[in-house]
A and B are shown apart, each in its own frame.
Chain A
Amino acid sequence: MSRQKTILFACGTGIATSTAVNVAVTEEMKKRGLTFNAQQAKATEVPGLADTVDFIVATTPISASVTKPVIKGLAFLTGIGKDKVLDEIEAQLRK
């Protein structure tokens, strides 16, 4: 695989739900043999940071001006549809 990718985890405050999602994704990707660099930010900070990361996993809506892929991360809080989102993240990491 090529260079290590960077995921930006975003939520309203940048410390609460994005932390829970970051931890859950890190654990699950480890099981799939994948590692990545993680950053966390407030949703409002994403447009300014998007250029420095490969893609974004967010629990809150992200500005449409962001051109990097945005994956919805709410499934890691609710548990509903988690496998599908994990597959999406894996696909982005293996790109």
Chain B
Amino acid sequence: MSDGLMQLLDPDAIVLGSDASTNEEIIRILAGRLETLGYVKSSYADAVVRRELTIPTGLPLERSDNVAVPHTDPEHVLKPGIAMGTLKQPVIFANMEDPDEMLPVGFVFLLAINDKDKQIEALQAVMATIQNPQALDDLRSARTLEDVRAVLG
């Protein structure tokens, strides 16, 4: 179902069952992976953390473990990629549409996007996963890369 997602989701940028306790912590863990792997500049992590404060990315899914899709401006991106983290305990992100509302988030898709026309498939694949409650349930219990591949195809 999600060919596009595994295309951009780097296996080395997947963190399962993270102990992170704040949104900044999980963003920095995932951004660190993307930086080490050469997807983003060293300025990316700070830019995402800063942006999350003013333009948050939590998506309300009416679950106890919602999704967030932190990202920032293309100038911090070297090549397109996605990092994903699942959290042992949900961390708080503000709602994208209503920044005053706080959401418990269990899944973080950190997006490094720099060309909207070339990354539509990956974005659609992320959205398809977000909108599939079964996929999210399976991701939550995923412990290995193989488990993740089985969910995201």
A16, B99: Cα distance in complex, Å: 18
Task: Check A12 against B116 for contact (C-beta < 8 Å).
Answer: no
By a CB distance below 8 angstroms, the chain A residues around B72 are 13
Count how many pairs of residues, one from A and one from B, have CB atoms less than 8 Å apart in the complex: 71
Choose one: A19, A61, A72, A74; the contact of B59 (CB below 8 Å): A74
What residue in chain A is nearest B99 (Cβ atoms)? A61
B residues within 8 A CB of A61? 97-99
Residues A80 and B111 in contact in the complex (CB < 8 Å), given A13-B74, A19-B120 = no
Also in contact, A12 and B131, with CB within 8 A (given A23-B124, A80-B62) = no
From the candidates A16, A43, A59, A78, name the one contacting B61 in the complex (CB within 8 A).
A78
Total residues of chain B contacting the partner, CB 8 A = 29
Residue of B nearest to A23 (CB): B120
CA distance A40 to B130 in the complex (A): 22
**Minimum C-beta distance from A22 to chain B (A):** 9
Minimal beta-carbon separation of A2 from chain B (angstroms): 29
Which residues of B have CB within 8 Å of A55?
none
Residues on A with C-beta less than 8 A from B62 are: 80
Write the residues of chain B forming the contact surface with A, with a CB cutoff of 8 angstroms: 51, 55, 57, 59-62, 69, 71-74, 96-99, 111, 113-116, 119-120, 123-124, 126-127, 130-131
